[in-house]
């Protein structure tokens, strides 16, 4: 089954044109045959008329047998009362003298002939032509009439394909525009210049986009409002716990510390929810965009986690840096890169290594964060960007860090990937890429910071 609308239209129109062309070709072929036969018959009549007007005496009385070309007409003139022809252009041929006046088909000397017989008071004139010669002439003429159809049909197929492709170009452009729609760019499709036939379809898509935008906006507002509302009671709980700390009996200290840790985890979760709400918010309503140096963002992210890395004996540093700038909000990019680096620090065992590098790929610059952690089960990799999903439940976390990174990347037309290392070592390669405004030559990477 052909699912492509373009292919369906090309094939349907091509078959229609081909059928019409074949019918036209067959009609032209038959009409050409009939016309050629009519012309040949007219020629026989004209020759007979000339013989009647006195040209018969011009035929030699005793012509040589077989001297006439096979493609020429044969003329036989009979006189009343004579048993042999008065004149003939081919003595070896004998046509029935009593042939019906007008046109008839006879067999003479094992050949089929087309004969025109004209009876006059003073003579009977027969003009004949070989059926094989007539067939060759009609076939040749009819075949020439077919050539335009044979040549034009492939050209028509090409023209049909080009016309259909041009007609569907706007659909392809709309398709690319629809593909560019995501939660960060929920813009309705333009109806300017849209064909009447597909306008209802575009209006339906725009209605769906409006509904989706409304639903996502409600979700964002709910997350942000819930996080804001929860911050106050959690802060109050934290203050109450701090006030109760001196009054907790020694036997209850362990359970009290667990309570404080739970409050702290809830506070971190609410902070992550607020970050996620900000990352999901449209760029238009956010702070003005600025030209951000990605190398400085990477350096800042490393500096933020450096105390933790030093405390755990992690070797964290940059292999290669490039000077590249992105039009964005600097805090967003810093949050995205810091989340990737923080994940690497969280999952890398003490004494491990975390390497950062920047690389160019066309118009994009990628930031790779490579660790020596345990890696992630391949079956779980497709879910790592899902909200609240945690590939390793034993390690503390909210399950929102990578979702925030994904939202920030999509917000600025970038992308983020996560994969296991394929260089023989265990660990993860987390990469985030952005379209840059300008990329210059590589700059020297700072020395690795060993802890």
Q: State the pLDDT at residue 225.
A: 65
Is the domain of 122 the same as that of 240? no
CA distances 327 to 113, 176, 255, 292, 417, Å, are 91, 23, 49, 6, 21
Is the domain of 111 the same as that of 242? no
Whether residue 336 lies inside any domain: the answer is: yes
Report pLDDT digits (tens) over 179-195: 767 665 677 777 777 77
DSSP strand pairing (438-443 vs 353-361): unpaired
Mean pLDDT of 129-133: 90
For 122, the domain range is 5-154
Query: Running DSSP on this structure, what letter comes out for residue 449?
Result: B
**Residue 217, Cα to own-chain centre: how many angstroms?**
32
Q: Mean of the per-residue pLDDT values for the chain?
A: 81
Is the domain of 400 the same as that of 276? no
Q: What percent of the chain has pLDDT over 90?
A: 9
Whether residue 346 lies inside any domain: the answer is: yes
Among 124, 154, 184, residue at a domain's last position: 154
Q: State the pLDDT at residue 238.
A: 76
Task: Examine the pLDDT at 276 and tell me if it is beyond 50.
Answer: yes
Is the domain of 247 the same as that of 318? no
Report pLDDT digits (tens) over 19-62: 998 898 888 888 888 998 999 999 999 988 888 877 777 777 77
Report pLDDT digits (tens) over 374-396: 888 888 888 888 877 777 766 76
Query: Running DSSP on this structure, what letter comes out for residue 383?
Result: G
Q: State the pLDDT at residue 185.
A: 65
What pTM was estimated for this model as a whole?
A: 0.50
Whether residue 178 lies inside any domain: the answer is: no
Mean pLDDT of 274-279: 65
Q: Is the dihedral of CA 403, 404, 405, 406 positive or negative?
A: positive
Is the domain of 341 the same as that of 422? yes
Q: What CATH number corresponds to the domain at position 270?
A: 1.10.287.130
Q: State the pLDDT at residue 429.
A: 92
Q: Which of 369, 296, 303, 304 is nearest to 328 (CA)?
A: 296
Q: Which two tokens stand for residue 284?
A: 């238009």
Is the domain of 90 the same as that of 114? yes
Residues 6+ apart with CB under 8 A from 35: 141
Query: Running DSSP on this structure, what letter comes out for residue 53?
Result: I
Using the structure block, give the residue that is written with the tokens 């700072």.
446
Spatial separation of the C-alpha atoms in residues 304 and 11, rounded to whole Å: 62
Highest mean pLDDT: which of 234-243, 262-271, 379-388? 379-388
Q: What percent of the chain has pLDDT over 70?
A: 85
Q: State the pLDDT at residue 274.
A: 65
Q: State the pLDDT at residue 447.
A: 45
Q: Phi and psi for 190 in degrees, rounded to 5?
A: -75, 140
Q: Which of 171, 170, 259, 182 is nearest to 213 (CA)?
A: 182
């Amino acid at each position: 089954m052909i699912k492509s609308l373009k292919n369906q239209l090309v094939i349907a129109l091509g078959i229609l044109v081909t059928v019409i062309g074949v019918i036209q070709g067959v009609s032209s072929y038959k009409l050409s045959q009939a016309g050629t036969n009519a012309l040949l018959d007219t020629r026989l009549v004209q020759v007979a008329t000339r013989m009647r007007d006195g040209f018969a005496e011009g035929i030699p009385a005793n012509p040589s047998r077989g001297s006439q070309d096979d493609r020429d007409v044969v003329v036989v003139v009979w006189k009343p009362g004579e048993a042999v022809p008065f004149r003939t252009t081919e003595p070896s041929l004998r046509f029935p003298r009593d042939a019906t006046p007008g046109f008839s088909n006879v067999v003479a000397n094992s050949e089929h002939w087309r004969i025109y017989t004209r009876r006059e008071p003073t003579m009977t004139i027969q003009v004949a032509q070989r059926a094989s010669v007539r067939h060759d002439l009609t076939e040749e003429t009819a075949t020439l009439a077919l050539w335009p159809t044979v040549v034009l049909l492939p050209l028509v197929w090409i023209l049909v394909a080009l016309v259909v492709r041009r007609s569907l170009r706007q659909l392809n452009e709309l398709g690319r525009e629809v593909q560019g729609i995501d939660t960060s760019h929920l813009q309705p499709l333009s109806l300017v210049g849209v064909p009447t036939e597909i306008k209802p379809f575009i209006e339906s898509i725009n209605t769906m986009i409006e509904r989706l935008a409304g639903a996502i906006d409600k979700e964002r507002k709910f997350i942000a409002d819930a996080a804001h509302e929860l911050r106050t009671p959690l802060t109050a709980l934290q203050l109450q716990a701090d006030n109760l700390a001196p009054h907790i009996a020694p036997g209850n200290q362990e359970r009290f510390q667990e309570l404080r840790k739970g409050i702290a985890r809830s506070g971190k979760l609410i902070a992550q929810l607020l970050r996620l709400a900000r990352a999901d918010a449209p760029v238009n309503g956010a702070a003005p965009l600025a030209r951000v140096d990605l190398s400085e963002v990477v350096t800042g992210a490393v500096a933020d986690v450096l105390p933790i890395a030093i405390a755990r004996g992690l070797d964290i540093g940059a292999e290669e840096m490039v000077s590249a700038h992105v039009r964005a909000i600097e805090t967003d990019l810093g949050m995205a890169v810091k989340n990737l680096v923080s994940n690497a620090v969280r999952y890398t065992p003490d004494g491990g290594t975390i390497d950062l590098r920047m690389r160019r790929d066309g118009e994009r610059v990628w930031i790779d964060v490579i660790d020596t952690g345990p890696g992630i089960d391949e079956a779980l990799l497709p879910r790592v960007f899902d909200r609240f999903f945690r590939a390793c439940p034993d390690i503390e976390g909210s399950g929102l860090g990578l979702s925030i990174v994904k939202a920030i990347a999509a917000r600025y037309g970038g992308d983020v990937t996560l994969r296991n290392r394929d260089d023989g070592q265990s660990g993860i390669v987390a990469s985030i890429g952005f379209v840059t405004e300008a990329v210059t030559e590589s700059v020297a990477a700072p020395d690795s910071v060993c802890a």
